[in-house]
Amino acid sequence: MVGNLVPYLIMLAATGFALLRDAPYATPLFIVVMAAWYTVRMVLTQGASLEVKEERDAKRERPLAGVVGVGMIFLPLLTLATPLLDFAAYTAVPGQLAIGAVVAVIGVYLFWRSHADLGPMWSAHLEVREGHRLITHGIYSRIRHPMYSAIFLITLGQTLILTNWIAGPIGLVAFTALYLIRIGPEERMMADQFGAAWANYAAKTPRLVPRWATGAR
């Protein structure tokens, strides 16, 4: 339990340093988004989870996930706490922070909904668990990868809220790279595990955006 509080303390420390040095960023808003995102993952991944039956592509996939962590967490906090990237700061245009906040809130909500519906089938990596079931209810009835949709929205919110040309978009860039590399192997893994059930589900359910919004997968 104590270990779960450490990220909050780090976020508070980064905010404190940023305020003390009058950092040119929307510090409180960005920290609130980060804290909400972390809280969803911490709360909804506690408790019993199914044993891992198979993991794929770990040598490539796990380092990429680490890069996303650097882009979404480490570098933004370092930017807030130190003057390392102050040279890349800029002034937000009118409405930018508000739009970023709305996008990020939608992303955090979708992230929560995805975790809640997926339950113990969730994994941070390309894993199949013992007794793994294909989840097609809730948000998964509209989008087959809603957690990826959520992280795209959260990192887009980061881009708009954290007014730094490097630390702002780095999370979105890193996650886009991870998504493009991971999505093919992940869907092949699901096809191998669930066969026709996955094929039927994928045929009628868009990857990232509900069909009524785009008309295509």
Q: How far apart are CA 155 and CA 153, in angstroms?
A: 6
What is the pLDDT, as a whole number, of residue 216?
Answer: 40
Mean pLDDT of 155-167: 96
Q: Quick check: 188 pLDDT over 90?
A: yes
Cα separation values, 110 from 49, 131, 192, Å:
21, 25, 27
CATH number, domain at 194? 1.20.120.1630
What is the pLDDT, as a whole number, of residue 50?
Answer: 67
pLDDT tens digits, residue range 89-104? 999 999 999 999 999 9
More confident residue, 57 or 14: 14
Instruction: Dump strand ranges (E) for 16-155.
Output: 52-55, 127-129
- DSSP-derived letter for residue 215 is S
Q: Total domain count for the chain?
A: 1
Mean pLDDT of 56-78: 86
Structure tokens belonging to residue 117: 């519906």
Q: What share of the chain is helix, strand, coil (3-state, %, to 5)?
A: 70, 5, 30
What is the pLDDT, as a whole number, of residue 83?
Answer: 93
- Check: CB of residue 169 under 8 Å from CB of residue 175: no
Percent of the chain surpassing pLDDT 70: 93
Cα separation values, 167 from 20, 161, 186, Å:
19, 10, 28
Mean pLDDT of 4-27: 86
What is the pLDDT, as a whole number, of residue 195?
Answer: 94
Range of the domain at 58: 2-214
Give the SS3 label for residue 4. Answer: helix
Q: Quick check: 213 pLDDT over 60?
A: no
Q: Quick check: 121 pLDDT over 60?
A: yes
Q: Position 205: which residue type?
A: T
